[in-house]
């Protein structure tokens, strides 16, 4: 018997008991739908994490000044607590495998453009900042060494700020006032989105470090070229692995930390930090996936049950088919195809419901969701597998019937 003919026979049999077929499928439908939703959410979450890691910049170590616990020793040692641009320069020169070093100062100020004003984050940065943060400009130009030298009153705006002040019109070349000092907008950044902690990263105005120190943040008496943090970008993941020790040694040296004394700075691998945070999420998604898999198995048992009932009910039909020439294999294939058809149809319905559910969650629940075609294929394949696995035993029972016993079955 051809596969096509078997499929036709299976469809007729399933349609004859439409409600029962549907109820039998329900387990698989729910199983597949939940698999789709769970995996979509899990994938979406891990993609979001990956994006956040990317948005921090790849292969980046962040250097902060030492914690305030070491503050009591500061005067005695004669060491400045703050990091400095000199530190940044030393890193750039002295640590192998470094591709960029961004130094930053943070503050906030009210910004005015025409009749509009907006309070935003001000960040004093050096030239490397946009490349280290993997944050290209949408329009305009980056800062130059000349801007830094002359503490030029120039600024680069984040997307949110640019929209608040200028709407859709091009901000480049416009003049704004920050803390009542007139600035020229020389560039606009691309959209960055939320940070890993939910802060809008696009609500920002960048300016040269020297300008920020003079106009917004204020200087440090002991360290005239102070910066609040330094981001060190390495060329590759391996460079970063080896570079972390070099970085530590170099900083101890340039900041004159005596042997045996604790570091007066902290080096943080942000990606590592976020990955740790995401581990919980990963465990959760494994648990959800396992639950979904269990529901698929339960659905399979439902299919097996209904197939056993179907075989018993149709014993005489099986006997007749054998009497007119059906081989055992024909009977086996017929019932196997019925089970697989039930499961794959259930899988398709479940897939549709699951995809719709995942979309609904992403739209109304603000979940990051990723639905991939490969996931759909996997879901259908696993539904088909459930059909073969749980359909085999009933189908085998059917095929092993003795023709005359089957025909006489009451």
Partner 1 sequence: MSDVAPPKRTKRRVAQLDAADTAARPETATAQIVARDLCKTYVMGGSAVHALQDVNLEIAAGEYVAVTGQSGSGKSTFMNLIGALDQPTSGTLTVDGADLGKLSTNALAQYRNEKIGFVFQTFNLLPRTSALDNVALPLLYAQDTGDAKARARVSLERVGLAERAAHEPSALSGGQQQRVAIARALVNAPKILLADEPTGALDSKTTEEIIALFEDLNESGITVIIVTHELDIAARAKRQITFQDGRVVEDRS
Binding site for partner 1 (CB under 8 A): 1, 5, 9, 12, 16, 316-317, 319-330, 402-405, 407
Instruction: Report yes or no: 45 and 368 within 8 Å, Cβ to Cβ.
Output: yes
E strands in 38-153: 60-65, 83-84, 98-113, 116-125, 137-140
Longest dimension (CA), the chain: 104
Secondary structure (DSSP) of 134-177 = T--EEEE----HHHHHTT--EEEE-HHHHHHHHTTS--TT-EEE
CB atoms within 10 A of CB 136: 10
Q: How far apart are CA 118 and CA 321, in angstroms?
A: 82
Count Cβ atoms below 10 Å from residue 103 Cβ, excluding itself. Answer: 30
Query: Cα(123)–Cα(166) distance, rounded to whole angstroms?
Result: 20
User: With left for phi above 0 and alpha for psi between -120 and 50, is residue 366 left, alpha or beta?
Assistant: left
Asked if 175 and 183 count as a contact pair (C-beta separation under 8 A), the reply is yes
CA distance 165 to 120: 11
Beta-bridge partners for 189? 137
Cα distance between residue 62 and residue 395, in whole Å: 63
Tally of CB atoms within 10 A around 169: 9
Identify whether the C-beta of residue 247 lies closer than 8 Å to the C-beta of residue 232: yes
DSSP secondary structure string for all residues of 208-220: EHHHHIIIII---
Nearest distance, CB of residue 381 and partner 1, angstroms: 29
Distance, CA of 53 to CA of 51 (rounded, Å):
5
In this structure, the number of other CB atoms found within 10 A of the CB of residue 172 comes to 18
User: Given phi > 0 = left and psi -120 to 50 = alpha, else beta, which region is 332?
Assistant: alpha
> Contact 388/380 with Cβ under 8 angstroms?
no
Closest alpha carbon to 203 in 142, 105, 118: 118
């Amino acid at each position: 018997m051809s596969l096509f003919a078997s499929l036709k026979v299976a469809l007729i049999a399933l349609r004859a008991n439409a409600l029962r077929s549907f109820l039998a499928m329900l387990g698989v439908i729910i199983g597949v739908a939940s698999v789709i939703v769970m995996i979509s959410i899990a994938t979406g979450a891990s993609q979001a994490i990956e994006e956040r890691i990317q948005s921090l910049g790849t292969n980046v170590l962040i250097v902060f000044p030492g914690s305030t616990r070491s503050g009591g020793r500061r005067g005695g040692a004669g060491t400045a607590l703050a990091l400095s641009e000199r530190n940044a320069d030393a890193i750039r020169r002295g640590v192998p495998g470094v591709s960029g070093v961004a130094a930053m100062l943070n503050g906030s100020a009210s910004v005015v453009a025409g009749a509009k004003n907006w309070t935003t984050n001000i960040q004093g940065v050096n030239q490397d900042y946009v490349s280290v943060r993997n944050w290209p400009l949408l329009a305009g130009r980056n800062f130059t060494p000349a801007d830094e030298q002359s503490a030029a009153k120039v600024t680069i705006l984040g997307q949110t700020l640019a929209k608040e002040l200028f709407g859709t019109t091009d901000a480049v070349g416009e003049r704004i006032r920050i803390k009542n000092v007139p600035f020229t907008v020389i560039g606009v950044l691309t959209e960055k989105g939320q940070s890993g902690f939910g802060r809008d990263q696009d609500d920002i105005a960048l300016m040269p470090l020297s300008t920020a120190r003079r106009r917004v943040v204020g200087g440090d008496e002991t360290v005239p070229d102070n910066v609040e943090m330094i981001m060190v970008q390495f060329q590759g993941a391996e460079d970063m692995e080896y570079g972390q020790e070099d970085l530590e040694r170099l900083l101890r040296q340039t900041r004159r930390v005596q042997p045996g004394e604790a570091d007066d700075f902290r080096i943080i691998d942000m990606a590592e930090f976020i990955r740790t945070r995401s581990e919980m999420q990963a465990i959760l998604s494994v648990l959800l996936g396992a639950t979904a898999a269990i529901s698929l198995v339960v659905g399979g048992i439902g299919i097996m049950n209904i197939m056993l009932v179907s075989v018993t009910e149709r014993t005489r039909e099986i006997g007749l088919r054998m009497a007119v020439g059906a081989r055992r294999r024909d009977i086996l294939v017929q019932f196997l195809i019925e089970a697989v058809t039930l499961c794959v149809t259930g899988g398709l319905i479940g897939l549709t419901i699951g995809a719709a559910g995942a979309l609904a969650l992403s739209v109304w629940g603000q979940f990051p969701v990723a639905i991939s075609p490969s996931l759909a294929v996997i879901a259908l394949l696993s539904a088909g597998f459930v059909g073969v696995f749980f359909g085999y035993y009933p189908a085998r029972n059917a095929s092993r019937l003795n023709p005359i016993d089957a025909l006489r079955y009451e």
